[in-house]
Structure 1
């Protein structure tokens, strides 16, 4: 707890009188409810004129954000009872989505942020913004904590709701370690080009609002527009997935104040880590976790130099181990006991975890375990290859052979020549499939869709 307290103080969120500020936060959470909505109410009380967030169209101070949330709560106060699963779409813009999310949490709802293509989940819906206020009793009522309920990404199967509850003690230890490593500050602007319906985006939203840092929402923006925001706003923190990082590195731009690039939600290749270091310096961090289990490990710039391709060490409050069959198991933030992550991996002597691919995609070729990531990381070094995925198909001779799906400006003879120079016959893809890869709304390769095409 002492380390967490020191990390929180270092963010500047508590100001020059941290004990008094912490007590005012506790009072505010007691009045407004122990959610992110309560934190925003506290920020509005302490620094009403500070910029809270902008999406390029709207700019709200903390006072304006709090007023918008209160207005929405009054309009929705009797729409659904506390505890209701309510689906929330982002059709009205990113700032409006944050307002609706905070209002739903203040009302005690279990809010499910929905991706654009997620329908038919049998969730309740809030009234549309243009409808009149819902009739009901006045007043705010006793606060009941709402919470976000996330959905799996759908990269390996149909999306589903995840109903895990955060374990408070483990969450404090994880949060303290992340604050200590990333060093966010209330005067350090954050740029978020990720959607808010995913865990990575929501976690960054909570981080920025929690410390009071200006948050620039840029989901869907072009790489050039993101670079412009980074430079003009003197941004110090950028949250990305590898797909967005790849596009940024391929575009011109400058970010002189950038000191943290936090990647996550998909594998980060050693080549991309090296390219980021060459372009931006030692600023790259890579987080690994899952919607079901929460964030598990963090690779610092030092980890990525010492063990390229690793996802770092387990965070305090989290335990990770690798079963004899190579499956990664974890416990900590969201679950008690050991639970499979669905990944294969290895731990080195320094307790760093390196992933080898999804457990469902493990190939057994000629009696040898072969991880798709072994072949995919090599293929990403071929000039012109933007993305790839390797999956197994049956083979009479070897039991299984790989099939390679490749996206980019490259032809089959080039790929065949590369495989011939690097791999024995059993590892050379039995078939090359060229063209755009199917992706989830977050940009992950939809391996489940590819598997159905085999």
Structure 2
């Protein structure tokens, strides 16, 4: 029997079997059962349909980890429309590009971020603007609660195919312009099932949202936690004290985060007398970069939590590898923390290979470096309206495999460990930053003659952007601009997490005889005291 895989099945199942169980703890203090949560979703679907949203239309969501984002995601997808979550840390200019590129017909925005949209609303194709609190926003915004209050759910759910695109997630690329990663009902459904298995999600789990929901749909936890009938505990951001408070108050059992969040929790714990668990045992998954072994040791030995590392990308759902390999890691071994920080082994129904330039698998000797390639049912459909980029992502060293651009070694058990990156990208605190975008921005400053941006080691963020600048005067000792001024220059033009805080003035940049920039020389020098050429933090 063949039954279509649809993401709407996750909430349908939760409502059928867990209707009276608590589903969502909102940031506003409200609590909703799955029946109540589902009713709010149905009413929002009705509102969107009344505003002309149809199957295939893109609807953007600009919201932190609140119940509004969860409701909006399912309300959009129930209509067969395309959930398009946006990073809430961007600039108005970024949103102008994203909304235009996606052709977003409507947007649902948190009142804290709506003003960024208001600044560019006349320059985008978006027609419907909904704010979670319209009274707190200047401009013409419909109020979320007022729209759904007392409304009788009457929306029509269209017939959907598992091959329909149901969400677009934007990821930073090496070319600077973000690319919209298209994911179908099928890819999202299988992605969520893999997350459920490898994160061991149960119906009695209480999940604390610290990982942004806009990151590949919260690594699939929008679906997995809901489908299992578990409980969502929402947050508006990352605050170490608040995380510990919510864990103990709500008996949280599971959270996912960037490694830098674990470092923040460790620092906070050292300075405050706080409990690390409620009545439920805690487990945590980190991704974005491997944390230092000392952080894993603190998480497991001091906090008493079970740690696992996840490796992935927006294009892959994100799960490519996981260190949740209990039979391959001896919990009594001194090497267990070094093994747990590795990117691990492939999940079920997924093929991962580390290959050389000819596409041949490298030996499992933990020394030979190759590029990580992956294929599986959870891999993206392609990049939104970018066929050339889609083809390039899949058909280089091996046809039909997604090429990650990450360079790794493989140990005797098949566990991979990233050593470097082929792509011109920085991963800072779990966020991808295009070095080319930063270089283009710095080139706009009249005192910059030439520039190269590379990742620099950061104890807090794993990696942080560093700019090597050739000043227009040619004199690196007395440049016509300071590093602080260039930092401020990028701050005024880029999202906060992309700001260049480290600047080194140089006479020349390393280049080939044909003038091609050799960033690798700069990276080798910058990372010579580190274990690998990628950030850990």
Structure 1 length-normalised TM: 0.68
Match of residue 207, structure 2, among 183, 187, 190: 190
1:319 is aligned to: 351
Q: How has the CA–CA distance of structure 1 residues 41 and 322 changed in structure 2, closer, same or farther, with 3 Å as cutoff?
A: closer
1:152 is aligned to: 171
Displacement, 1:324?
Answer: 2.2
Q: How has the CA–CA distance of structure 1 residues 99 and 177 changed in structure 2, closer, same or farther, with 3 Å as cutoff?
A: closer
Q: How has the CA–CA distance of structure 1 residues 311 and 448 changed in structure 2, closer, same or farther, with 3 Å as cutoff?
A: farther
The 8 Å contact of residues 354 and 373 in structure 2, kept in 1 or not, is answered as yes
SS, match of residue 300 in structure 1: coil
Displacement, 1:351?
Answer: 0.7
Q: How has the CA–CA distance of structure 1 residues 43 and 452 changed in structure 2, closer, same or farther, with 3 Å as cutoff?
A: farther
Equivalent residues in 2 for 1:209-288, closer than 5 Å: 209-252=226-269, 253-256=274-277, 257-281=280-304, 283-288=306-311
Q: How has the CA–CA distance of structure 1 residues 178 and 46 changed in structure 2, closer, same or farther, with 3 Å as cutoff?
A: closer
1:9 is aligned to: none
Displacement, 1:268?
Answer: 2.7
Displacement, 1:124?
Answer: 1.9
Taking the aligned partners of 2:303 and 2:45, their CA distance within structure 1 comes to 43
Q: How has the CA–CA distance of structure 1 residues 305 and 202 changed in structure 2, closer, same or farther, with 3 Å as cutoff?
A: closer
Match of residue 422, structure 2, among 359, 366, 377: 359
1:334 equivalenced with 2:379 (yes/no): yes
SS, match of residue 413 in structure 2: coil
The 8 Å contact of residues 293 and 337 in structure 2, kept in 1 or not, is answered as no
Q: What count of residue pairs does the alignment treat as equivalent?
A: 363
Displacement, 1:354?
Answer: 0.3
The 8 Å contact of residues 352 and 375 in structure 2, kept in 1 or not, is answered as yes
Equivalent residues in 2 for 1:47-196, closer than 5 Å: 47-57=18-28, 58-78=30-50, 79-90=52-63, 94-116=66-88, 117=90, 118-120=94-96, 121=98, 122=100, 123-126=104-107, 127=128, 128=130, 129-130=142-143, 140-144=156-160, 147-153=166-172, 157-165=176-184, 172=190, 178-196=195-213
Which shifted more, 218-227 or 82-91? Answer: 82-91
Displacement, 1:387?
Answer: 4.8
SS, match of residue 315 in structure 2: coil
Displacement, 1:37?
Answer: 3.6
Taking the aligned partners of 1:386 and 1:182, their CA distance within structure 2 comes to 24
Displacement, 1:450?
Answer: 7.1
Match of residue 408, structure 2, among 345, 349, 361: 345
The 8 Å contact of residues 328 and 344 in structure 1, kept in 2 or not, is answered as yes
Taking the aligned partners of 2:504 and 2:217, their CA distance within structure 1 comes to 27
Taking the aligned partners of 2:353 and 2:505, their CA distance within structure 1 comes to 33
- Long gaps (5+) in structure 2: 108-127, 131-141, 149-153, 330-335, 358-369, 381-393, 395-399, 426-453, 471-482, 507-537
Deviations 1:38-83 (A, max 9, x none): 4223322323221111233132111111111111111111522211
Structure 2 length-normalised TM: 0.58
